Amino acid sequence: GTQVTVAIHHEDTSPQFIKRLSLEKGSQRLRGHDNKGFQKAEAARPPGAKDLHAYPWDKSSLKSMPVDLQQFKKLDDYALKVNVKNSVEELVKALLKQARTDLEKVRAIWMWICHHIEYDVVGYHNKSQLSSKPRDVLQMGKSICEGYAELFEHMCSLAGIHCKKLSGHAKGHGYKTGQTFTGDSDHAWNAVYLEGRWHLLDSTWGSGSVDDSFTKFTQRYNEFYFLTHPALFINNHFPDNSNWQLLKPTLTLKEFENNMLHNSNFYTLGLLAVHPDTPIIQTVNGKASVSVDCRSSTLFKFKLKGTDEHGLMTLKKHGMKLDIYPQTTGSHKLEIFAKPSKAEAPDDVYKCVVEYVVQCESVDEAVRFPKDLHQPVGPSWFSERQGFLRPSHREPVLHTNDGRCSLTFTLGKDISVLTSLHTDGSSLTEDMGRRHVLQIHRRNQIELKVHLPHAGNFVLKIYSKKKSDPGNYDYIFNYLIRCLNTEVKWPAFPQSYSKWLQDYEILEPLSGLLPANRNVHFKLKMHGIAKVLVQAENTHPLTQNKGCWEGTCNTSGCREVFVMVHENANHSFYSHVLKYEVESQ
């Protein structure tokens, strides 16, 4: 962010003679020249080959020149407090008290206009009553884009800075994705000449925004439109004179119309690109895919026709990927929202960053997502941050043919996990949804065994909390599990009670439903207990062997079988740890 000025001069000139002088008026720069009198500096010229910014944007800065916003803080605060309304000349004089360089003068004027002039929504609808003359704009304290741009130009000229009012088409309020632009220009903004080249800014858009019905203006300062890099400014500003794009090569109006609209949130959140980068996308066999690239971990949301039910979004370390499956043919609006993962400011809410129109010719009937599915799907940097490391399955969807699957993670310290299985319809109660997932802990590893009750689409939800926290579990992430095999019919795992400790393990029987009139073999991994009994019609003790408790129990004559433990040999009472059901005769 440091600015360096390099002076190149003849080797036999002694450097101290080369001075750069600035006159009070500031409109003409004088430069010492070989100490033989003075020669006038070049006046600002219209943009030509010398000004053209190398296209495309190199992603290192959103501005067209190095700007350190921290250094402006004092000046910004001063400019906001200036309260002169009697004449534009007096206002400029007051603002320039704290501004030394041309950049500082432009900054002070910009800050003042953005915070003191409101957009005139009434005047916009009734232009005959409206004056864009700088004096009138200052007196009224409101105007439309024309007035903002004229006031900016006039204040700069009083401050001795070259400034031009530009007009053209803008993808601003009321813009519809993919629309064409015809007729006269509909927006005005400015170019200022600083340090030998032209720079673009839009004080109307810097001051705030208008609601959808164009009846209410909300003052909300937007830094993005101050000296915006031309490669980003062209995204929503198309000047009547293409030289003022300050780009090489310049864009045609057709290209401007077809280009993706990235609003200022897109860039200020550090997003870099979207794919596809055309605003209208067609589905192929009922599906369309979109992805966003960004610098740092960013959280995303999407809405297709106002809901996120018909898609599958996954978070990547540097962006996100989204597949959508519209449920009706026709044109659908797809909006993508983003927010920083470390929400620093209270206003860090999800902001719309990009919009598409999805044209769907045929619906893929086979793809239906359960309504309990929560976006994004699958593991990500977010679940890692919550302590679920090294997932065995990195993809969001698990396909199983026999109705069983198993996932493993390495768990961070002090984490307690809760899991549940969900599907549409009433086949799974909340309690049974928990019992179709079995947790197995081995040191810092957790294995989740899932047995599906029937074919279909299921959501495996994973919650966690700190073991040391008394509070509730927080939802972390989920997977989609698919099974097409209609013969699948797994019973739930046995019910466990609070005395069943996290690092105990059931080796057999895993099914919570035991066959009737059979001898069933039990093998359980448990530690720190004196005795284990299996209670059916009769009581069967298990014997300890290499860290496991084993034995056989007969299920005849009973509907339920309990496993009980004796924690201390001197105590006479048992605690229930597991409960199995027995099939009816």
Tokens in use for 235? 């995204």
Q: Is 173 a catalytic residue?
A: no
CA separation for the pair 198, 162 (Å, rounded): 9
* CA within 13 Å, CB half, 475: 14
Contact 197, 264 (CB under 8 A): no
**Catalytic residue check, 352:** no
Q: Alpha-carbon distance 483 to 13, whole Å?
A: 83
Using the Cα atoms of residue 287, residue 288, residue 293 and residue 296 in order, give the sign of their dihedral: negative
Q: Whole-angstrom Cα distance, residue 122 to residue 116?
A: 17
* Cα(192)–Cα(100) distance, integer angstroms: 16
Contacts of 16 (CB under 8 A, 6+ apart): none
Of all helices (H) and strands (E), which one includes residue 81? helix 69-81
User: How crowded is residue 393: how many other Cβ atoms within 10 Å of its Cβ?
Assistant: 15
Beta strands in 443-583 (DSSP E): 445-451, 456-466, 474-483, 495-496, 505-508, 513-514, 519-525, 531-535, 539-545, 548-554, 560-566, 575-582
**E strand or H helix at 73:** helix 69-81
- Which one of 145, 156, 360, 553 is the catalytic residue? 145
- Does 202 participate in catalysis according to the annotation? yes
**Beta strands of 231-310 (E only): which ranges?**
237-239, 247-248, 271-275, 280-282, 288-294, 298-304
Encode burial over 375-392: b for 16+ CB neighbours within 10 A, e otherwise: bbbbbbeebbebbbeebe
* Active-site entry in 202, 237, 310, 332: 202
Are the CB atoms for 493 and 435 separated by under 8 Å? yes
- Spot the catalytic one: 154, 187, 199, 237: 187
Alpha carbon distance 86, 92 (integer Å): 11
CA dist., res. 482 & res. 46, Å (int):
63
| Spatial distance between the Cα atoms of 568 and 147, rounded to a whole number of angstroms | 86
Q: What is the set of active-site residues?
A: 145, 187, 202
